[in-house]
Amino acid sequence: MEYNNQMKNRVKRMEGQLRGILRMMEENKDCKEVVTQLSAVRSAVDRTVGVIVSSNLVECVQAVEASGKEEEELIKEAVNLLVKSR
């Protein structure tokens, strides 16, 4: 699977958020602020997983004819990937 710039930028933003959280912890910021930022990162990770899995699902469906696998099998693989991410 090819990861586009949008996907990579999402991960880079999360990386920046995590660095900010670490800085907040080093500065002994209020725990509510830290937890709020951690929740935002978790949400961003979940959304990114969704984008990647949905893109993978599209590629899987498009590859049905080329691979010889049945469409249902490929869709199950994509859904299992999503479930595994939880």
Where do the domains of the chain lie? 5-84
Does position 8 have pLDDT exceeding 90, yes or no?
Answer: yes
* Residue 2 DSSP SS3: coil
DSSP, collapsed to helix, strand or coil, labels residue 22 as helix
Measured in degrees and rounded to the nearest 5, phi and psi for residue 60 equal -60, -45
What's the pLDDT at 19?
Answer: 98
Q: What is the CATH number of domain 5-84?
A: 1.20.58.1000
Question: Looking at residue 84, what is its pLDDT?
Answer: 77
Instruction: Find the mean pLDDT for residues 4-13.
Output: 95
Q: For 29-76, how does the pLDDT look when each residue is reduced to its tens digit (9 = 90+)?
A: 999 999 999 999 999 999 998 888 888 777 776 776 666 667 777 777
The pLDDT of residue 65? 61
Tokens of 44: 């961003």
pLDDT given for residue 68 in this prediction: 66
